[in-house]
Structure 1
């Protein structure tokens, strides 16, 4: 049963990662009525987030170019997932941003509790 819970939490982490990218893209495409700005922010924002995650956080650090551990990893996750929640909040749906942030906190606490960080 514990293995199932850990796997479900890993799935939640992956879905949250995708949620960050979707939130940033949504924010970018709602940023301005100007299509050039929409395209730049809507495609460039997620590309920037992907680059940061690939360099420092991918695969829990195992697949990252420059893996972070400890406090640096925690700071990366807070900034990365917090950025996703903030982008969602800035684009309008405050309740969705709150749910997203709460899901990240639950996911992070469970990973710390299960010693998976």
Structure 2
């Protein structure tokens, strides 16, 4: 029986740690956490939401292919502010109004992984 979602893993190419930290930690405001030493030696980054709940892991994949359909859904407080912030940094923002009771848009991280951002309906 499922208790809760522990983490979602996306992949990234080798050597992109600084770029991914800038995007996820600085731009999105997701707190970076230390990965387990036995896994951290492989590279990658680990992030967690402000509630300390589920994590987003970025693992190194060679050869690298971005996730263009599979994606995490990330709940945010200020969805319009985040959309503006992403656009101002050159990230795409594609709104989708097909989910009743929620506002959402899709974007891409710097290496092409698809991300869904969700906020409450107005």
Structure in which a larger fraction of residues adopt helix: 1
TM-score of the two chains, using structure 1 as the length reference: 0.29
Structure in which a larger fraction of residues adopt strand: 2
